[in-house]
Amino acid sequence: MVKVIDRAELRSMLVRDENIVLIDALPTTAYARGHIPGAISIPSEDIIVRAPKMLTDRSTVIVVYCKNGPCRRSERAAARLESLGYTQVCDYHLGRDDWSEAGLPIEMAVSP
């Protein structure tokens, strides 16, 4: 079962520099416009294909997020990760909007 976490828990994980993979489940265009620092882009609809290639250790702690609570992309991405056998999946359900509204940093994707 996917664990839902809040901003404080995600911040704590990042501050402690835990070995987590932070996934932005929004489309790549939304990721480019702004994402939580350290996040990688794997849109929720691409999780099934891309995750096994990018995340070979199924016991890795993975945190997925999307735009906000009403956005269901992180929920779908987390369920898909679990269906692939990942055992430590968390959903930062309130997402990027919650992070940004708290005054925390947002990164823009670097253009090639």
Q: How many CA atoms lie within 13 A of 34 on its CB side?
A: 10
Domains belonging to the chain, first-starting first, are 3-101 (3.40.250.10)
- Residue 24: strand, helix, or coil: strand
Residue partners of 87: CB distance under 8 A and separation at least 6: 58, 59
The pLDDT value recorded for residue 111 is 55
pLDDT in tens, 13-72: 999 877 899 999 999 999 999 999 999 999 999 999 999 999 999 999 999 999 999 999
State if pTM tops 0.85. Answer: yes
Confidence at 109, pLDDT banded by 50, 70, 90: confident
Max CA separation in the chain (angstroms): 38
The pLDDT value recorded for residue 9 is 96
The pLDDT value recorded for residue 110 is 67
